[in-house]
Structure 1
């Protein structure tokens, strides 16, 4: 009789183990069914939605920086090729950051001063509170911030490679053109002769 009791307990344990194994197997199967090998996007785990937006804004920022650099390079190349004696020219512009957009803000500041005195000692306690709120304008696509100023990105450095750069007069003209068009000091500009 003791053997039958042990057999029933072992049978229940087997059923519990079997159910647990089935549960784990179904969870694994579910995770594999959601995987799509044709899917090109890879989702990266993030702590919060704020991290996702920060990641996407960094990606957008790097794209817009590359676009700005390409625009600066194309315009500068067009200008330099029109200078007498420059010849073939290659331009590389490196920016510090993207453009800076300044928006209108409502500012509210309050100052509260309290005088306290106890046992011959007096003191003034000042509390300052500053609040800022972005001014929004209603439009067809929704509320958008009111932009007061847009500041172009600052140039970190410029490299010019031109066939006529071995001529000192042409090199001086290139330097002046770059300084005046981009507002860059001469120590951030490198002008080199292009190999023939």
Structure 2
């Protein structure tokens, strides 16, 4: 298409024809745009997936929640161990087995069908069938559809290292180990206590 000739015609035509030609040019550009986006398969206007954004936000929130929980556990453990007689400064490291586990609500439906048949000789036979079906209960909120959570299990503690002033004393070391073991329901060999460097 020769645009210079088209513009030249616009200059030479009357006012009514100019408006008509201007509309024609606009329609031509729209047509070219549609053809271009169709064949390249890439729309020029960016599109955003709200579902993808909500998933990313959910993952980010889960990580922040886990980190916050771990920091709270460390802080609480340090504070309680400092209250033990003979213990000075304390530093702890806690190992967790897994992420937070969420248990969704489940809608279960069970059916039992019993059929009795009589054969030619008068004998009766009964057949029973049982079917169970279950599905997760879904709720709608501002970020989309999500499972309804009925219970949340915090990450399980599987090991603790404690570095504490005063733990060179065997009684204090035992008291620290026993306190941590009881607090997290851990066997004593999963709790390691060391004296702090002076």
TM-score computed with the length of structure 2 as normaliser: 0.56
Cα distance, 1:127–1:66 mapped onto 2, change above 3 Å: same
Paired residue for 2:111? 110
Cα distance, 1:93–1:150 mapped onto 2, change above 3 Å: same
What SS does structure 1 have at the residue aligned with 2:110?
strand
Task: Please show how residues 49-88 of structure 1 align to structure 2 within 5 Å.
Answer: 49=51, 53-88=54-89
Cα distance, 1:110–1:66 mapped onto 2, change above 3 Å: same
Paired residue for 2:14? none
Structure 2 CA distance, aligned partners of 1:58 and 1:183? Answer: 29
User: Are 1:187 and 2:189 an aligned pair?
Assistant: yes
Paired residue for 2:158? 156
Cα pair 1:136 1:146 within 8 Å, conserved: no
Structure 2 CA distance, aligned partners of 1:157 and 1:146? Answer: 28
Cα distance, 1:58–1:137 mapped onto 2, change above 3 Å: closer
How far the C-alpha of 1:165 sits from its partner, in A, is: 1.6
What SS does structure 1 have at the residue aligned with 2:193?
strand
Cα pair 2:104 2:147 within 8 Å, conserved: no
Structure 2 CA distance, aligned partners of 1:188 and 1:113? Answer: 55
Which string of whole-angstrom CA distances, capped at 9 and with x for unpartnered residues, describes residues 46-105 of structure 1? 9x94x6655443333222221111000000000000111111110111222343343443
TM-score computed with the length of structure 1 as normaliser: 0.57
Which string of whole-angstrom CA distances, capped at 9 and with x for unpartnered residues, describes residues 29-59 of structure 1? x98xx8xxxxxxxxxxx9x94x665544333
- Structure 1: stretches of 5+ with no match in the other structure: 1-18, 35-45, 116-123
How far the C-alpha of 1:159 sits from its partner, in A, is: 1.1
Give 1:131's match in structure 2, choosing from 134, 143, 156: 134
Cα pair 1:64 1:98 within 8 Å, conserved: no
Cα pair 2:91 2:164 within 8 Å, conserved: yes
Cα distance, 1:56–1:135 mapped onto 2, change above 3 Å: closer
- Structure 2: stretches of 5+ with no match in the other structure: 1-31, 117-126
Structure 2 CA distance, aligned partners of 1:56 and 1:113? Answer: 50
Between Structure 1 and Structure 2, whose CA radius of gyration is higher?
A: 2
Cα distance, 1:187–1:60 mapped onto 2, change above 3 Å: farther
User: Are 1:177 and 2:179 an aligned pair?
Assistant: yes
Paired residue for 1:96? 97
Cα distance, 1:168–1:185 mapped onto 2, change above 3 Å: same
Structure 2 CA distance, aligned partners of 1:113 and 1:55? Answer: 49
